Amino acid sequence: MNITAGVPLKDMFDGRLIGLIGKSFAAVHGEFDTKRFKAKATAGLADLTMMQRSAHIAAALAAELPDDFQAAAQILIRSLGPSLDGTEGNGLRPFFYMPHASFVGKYGVQQFKAGMAVNYEITRRFTAEFSVRPFLMRHEQRALALLKKWTKDPDVHVRRLCSEGTRPRLPWASRLPAFQANPELALPILEALKDDEELYVRRSVANHLGDLCKDHPEWVFALCARWVDELKGQPEERVQQRHWMVRHALRHPAKKGVEAALELRERAKR
Q: How far apart, in Å, are the Cα atoms of 19 and each of 36, 41, 50, 52?
A: 11, 9, 17, 18
CA distance 201 to 147: 14
Contact 169, 180 (CB under 8 A): yes
- 135, 173 Cβ separation under 8 angstroms: no
* Mean pLDDT calculated for residue range 207-229: 97
**How far apart are alpha carbons 212 and 219 in whole angstroms?**
8
Q: Across all residues in the chain, what is the average pLDDT?
A: 95
> What would the pLDDT profile of 158-209 be if each residue is shown by its tens digit?
999 999 999 999 998 889 999 999 999 999 999 999 999 999 999 999 999 9
- When pLDDT is averaged across residues 138-164 and rounded to a whole number, the result is 98
Sign of CA dihedral 133, 187, 126, 246: positive
Confidence of residue 5 (pLDDT cuts 50, 70, 90): low
24-62: pLDDT as tens digits: 999 999 999 999 999 999 999 999 999 999 999 999 999
Over residues 126-151, the mean pLDDT reads 98
Cβ-based neighbours of 159, under 8 Å, separated by 6 or more? 150, 151, 152, 153, 193, 196, 198, 201
Tell me what percent of the residues of the chain surpass a pLDDT of 90. 92
58, 106 in Cβ contact below 8 A?
yes
Q: Per-residue confidence at 8, pLDDT binned at 50, 70, 90?
A: confident
Enter the pTM of the model: 0.94
Per the CB < 8 A criterion, the answer to whether 135 and 119 are in contact is yes
